[in-house]
């Protein structure tokens, strides 16, 4: 099989979902797939959760390649439409890239230990117990809210703005906006604060108040760290991820369409 496009070596990955496994079995005989470690591009079968998992595994391995998703999951916001019998490799070669950088979370726990994680969608801080969290919010080195009393707060990238951020009534961000969404989760005080839209070059810092009495966890996409004391968030500009989308079905179009759902 000869491919004359940009990509030469293709990996095929599938989630454990039944629909993804069925699609994997259908596509497996159509090409000489290679392990993801040897590939130029990954064809990912599943939903948004599996795509996030795949991208994080690439980051952990230290080799990040473009990913072309086919929706065999539930939401599939980061995926393309699956078509039976379609020429997947041709679609990949013609797909348009969307390149972005993840968030870098530097967190300190109550015992003084420091941890670093990357988040593609968002970093969310969540109360661990029945009592509300109390969080000091700083942006660009200045305290903006001395005491946010809430169930939590999150900082979202444009790519993640239609995920948890949207469910928390946060704004949808265009992909090329170079903005971040700072969104409270069930805020009690200040009650009328609905969040903020920030330039993505500004660092955001959360300091947990009464941390022992009101413990808070930090979640970077799918990775949770409990009993935190402080979190610093910046954009990891030295790292780039690339998603591939069919022409006419880009993430930009989906973000626009999402804002007209009624």
From CA 121, how far away is CA 127, in angstroms rounded?
20
pLDDT beyond 80 at 5: no
pLDDT at 249: 67
8 A C-beta contact, residue 225 and residue 115: yes
Residue 4 lies in a domain: no
CATH code of the domain containing 69: 3.40.50.10330
Examine the domain organization and report whether 18 and 72 are in the same domain.
yes
pLDDT tens by residue, 20-36 = 999 999 999 999 999 99
Domain assignment present for residue 3? The answer is: no
Q: Which two tokens stand for residue 221?
A: 């996409």
* Residue-range definition of the domain harbouring residue 17: 10-100+240-258
Mean pLDDT of the chain: 92
CA distance 20 to 207: 41
pLDDT score at 28: 95
Please tell me whether residues 151 and 124 are part of one structural domain. yes
Query: Does residue 16 have an active-site annotation?
Result: no
> What is the tens place of the pLDDT at every residue in 106-150?
999 999 999 999 999 999 999 999 999 999 999 999 999 999 999
Same domain, 84 and 133: no
Residue 5, in any domain of the structure: no
48 and 112 in a single domain? The answer is: no
Q: What is the pLDDT of residue 232?
A: 98
Judge if 167 and 123 occupy the same domain.
yes
Q: In the prediction, which pLDDT does 2 show?
A: 37
Question: Is residue 125 located within the same domain as residue 200?
Answer: yes
Check whether residue 124 and residue 224 sit in a common domain: yes
1 domain-assigned: no
- Does 126 share its domain with 226? yes
83-107 pLDDT, tens per residue?
Answer: 876 689 999 999 999 899 999 999 9
Residue 145 counted as domain residue: yes
Task: Output the pLDDT for position 262.
Answer: 66
User: What pLDDT does residue 3 have?
Assistant: 41
Same domain, 92 and 172: no
When divided into structural domains, the chain yields a total of: 2
118 and 168 both lie in a single domain: yes
Alpha carbon 1 to chain centroid, angstroms: 34
Extract the tokens encoding 201.
Answer: 């070059």
ω before 190 within 30° of 0 (cis)? yes
Q: Are 159 and 166 in contact (CB under 8 A)?
A: no
Q: Do 109 and 33 reside in the same domain of the chain?
A: no
For residue 7, what are the CA distances in angstroms to 16, 205, 256? 26, 40, 29
| Catalytic member of 16, 26, 40, 48 | 48
Asked if residue 2 is part of any domain, the answer here is: no
Same domain, 150 and 215: yes
């Amino acid at each position: 099989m000869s491919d004359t496009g940009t990509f030469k070596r293709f990996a095929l990955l599938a989630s454990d979902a039944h629909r993804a496994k069925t699609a994997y079995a259908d596509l497996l005989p159509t090409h000489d797939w290679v392990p993801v470690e040897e590939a130029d591009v990954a064809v990912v079968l599943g939903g948004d959760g599996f795509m996030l998992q795949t991208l994080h595994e690439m980051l952990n391995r230290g080799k990040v390649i473009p990913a072309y998703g086919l929706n065999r999951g539930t939401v599939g916001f980061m995926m393309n439409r699956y078509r039976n019998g379609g020429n997947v490799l041709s679609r990949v070669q013609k797909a348009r890239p969307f390149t972005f950088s993840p968030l870098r979370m530097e967190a300190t726990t109550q015992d003084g230990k420091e941890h670093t994680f990357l988040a593609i969608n968002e970093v969310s801080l969540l109360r661990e117990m029945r009592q509300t969290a109390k969080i000091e919010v700083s942006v660009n080195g200045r305290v903006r809210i001395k005491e946010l009393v809430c169930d939590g707060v999150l900082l979202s990238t444009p790519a993640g703005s239609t995920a948890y951020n949207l469910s928390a009534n946060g704004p949808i961000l265009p992909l090329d906006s170079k903005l971040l969404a700072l969104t409270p989760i069930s805020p009690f005080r200040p009650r009328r604060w609905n969040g903020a839209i920030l330039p993505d070059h500004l660092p955001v810092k959360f300091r947990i108040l009464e941390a022992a009495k009101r413990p808070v966890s930090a979640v970077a996409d799918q990775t949770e760290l409990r009993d935190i004391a402080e979190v610093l968030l910046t954009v990891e500009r030295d790292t780039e991820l690339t998603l591939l989308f069919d022409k006419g079905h880009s993430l930009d179009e989906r973000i626009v369409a999402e804002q007209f759902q009624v």
